[in-house]
A and B are shown apart, each in its own frame.
Chain A
């Protein structure tokens, strides 16, 4: 489904990624782990073409995403749901309105938007908070809102960049369980960047370890050893 071929990414004098080769299959749940600055976020941002690699090729369903014309880029992004590291919620919109954004972008009818958003909010356990603003939510609720927004348009892939970053262990596990459920129930491919070893080791999924911009380990049912 997603294939990286000899990808390198350089920011000024920093080598963020070097010679990355990897393949992610349909319906997989993959952890991208590694310490801060290992290149996890860069790797995810390359998939949505938020940034472009310095060299190499990225295929999404056999299509080279770097060759997609600018006007067709939104079509690629509609196939990918993203939970951003900094949430990127709109503070002047309610939970419901935030989650509705991807459907509005698709010009869905209001009735359909209401149905889909209510359904997904129920799935992440936030239906009763639908009319709250982000400032009125706890850290876990903010994360769940971000997940709801990422999955509401039924993407083929869900990318999550440190979704458990500032959460306590119980809430973090709750958030990851929601993502596991999405992966199992909807067969959505999930790629999650994290440095939370506890979660990675608990879920026993494929683990790709990055260090200094290189893949140092790629294991099915892998573990993340921080020591």
Chain B
């Protein structure tokens, strides 16, 4: 415990440098957390959409049920789809009635004959929507095909953009934090040069001399990552009603607390590594023990 106590003693002697390093770390990992949450959230939305029937093929009125079943089987045999569900005229009417139960005007004189039979196709991967759509669209029995292809495409594009933007932005901030840590620890080494030299002359090992600086680097990481995850957690908690109402039926909340525990652990690990490596570089650069 003594090295930790000594580190705190040193931190108290020049708190502003310590605050600068911890703040830089907090900012870096706060932005990282935001991007991670956005990417994970994007994935959840994408997964939700992928689980819905993405392609619905409506058949002409005179198409026999047996023919529809054949087509459904052919689509299934491509291996690209997870599920093909047949919706008969009667089932379509039931869905229509359920959707419009509050509007009796729309229900008047609507019978099963008005509505076409269809197959709802759920696809394994969003990128296969186009291929599956093409497969059913050109058949003479098929009247119309609807697909949320554009929405999925946009979402995939956005997620990719966020990921690339996040990597660039976070890498830049990470480099800044890294340099700040090297600078702050380098200044501390310079301030303690006499002490280090005396310790070395009375028999201190390099590890003994370096240890407080490694602890300091790791401490900046732990504080930075903890502040960042706490802030993101608080913000999400505060804005969860707004986000949920925006996302509608896509259930994102309540977020599993385990997600934040894993996020915190991963960020503490990453941030401590940044701090320790920064300290190691500062020690290599500024500490020359004879």
Contact = CB atoms under 8 A, between A and B. Distances in A.
A115 interface: no
A105 B202 contact: yes
Given A90-B195, A104-B2, A105-B208, A50 B201 contact: yes
Contacts of B2: 104, 110
A102 interface: yes
A78 B201 contact: no
A158 B101 CA distance: 100
B289 to A, nearest CB: 9
B203 A88 contact: no
Contacts of A81: 202
Given A50-B290, A71-B206, A90 B201 contact: no
B205 A74 contact: yes
A48 B194 contact: no
A75 interface: yes
A105 B195 contact: no
B270 interface: no
B290 A77 contact: no
B204 to A, nearest CB: 4
Interface in A76-111: 77-78, 81-82, 84, 88, 90, 101-102, 104-107, 110
Which of A74, A78, A84, A88 counts the most B-chain CB atoms under 10 A from its CB?
Answer: A74
A84 B201 CA distance: 10
B203 A105 contact: yes
A57 interface: no
Contacts of B200: 74, 77
Nearest to B6: A104
Contact of B198 (A75, A88, A106): A88
A110 B2 CA distance: 9
A77 B201 contact: yes
A48 B195 contact: no
B214 to A, nearest CB: 16
Given A88-B194, A88-B198, A105 B204 contact: yes
B203 A106 contact: yes
Nearest to A82: B201
B206 A78 contact: no
B142 to A, nearest CB: 78
B199 interface: yes
> Interface range on chain A: under 10, 10 to 19, 20 to 34, or 35 or more?
20 to 34
A134 B206 CA distance: 26
Given A88-B198, A90-B198, A102 B203 contact: yes
Nearest to A87: B198
A40 interface: no
A149 interface: yes
A223 to B, nearest CB: 32
B28 to A, nearest CB: 33
Contacts of A107: 208
How many B residues touch the partner, as a band? 10 to 19
Nearest to A78: B203
Contacts of B290: 50-51
Contacts of A105: 199, 202-205, 208
A16 B203 CA distance: 26
A71 B206 CA distance: 8
Contact of B201 (A48, A71, A75, A106): A48
B201 A88 contact: yes
A149 B199 CA distance: 11
Most buried by B among A82, A84, A102, A153: A102
Contacts of A153: 202-203
Nearest to B290: A50
Given A101-B199, A105-B199, A90 B194 contact: yes
Nearest to A93: B195
A48 B197 CA distance: 13
Nearest to A152: B202
A74 B204 CA distance: 6
Nearest to A109: B2
A82 B202 CA distance: 8
A67 to B, nearest CB: 17
Interface string A41-56: 0000000101100000
Interface string A174-186: 0000000000000
Nearest to B199: A105
Contacts of A78: 202-203
Contacts of A75: 203
Given A75-B203, A88-B201, 19 more contacts: A51-B290, A71-B205, A74-B204, A77-B202, A78-B203, A82-B201, A88-B197, A90-B194, A90-B195, A101-B198, A101-B202, A102-B203, A105-B199, A105-B203, A105-B205, A105-B208, A107-B208, A149-B202, A153-B203
10 contacts: A48-B201, A78-B202, A88-B194, A90-B194, A101-B198, A102-B202, A105-B202, A105-B208, A106-B203, A107-B208
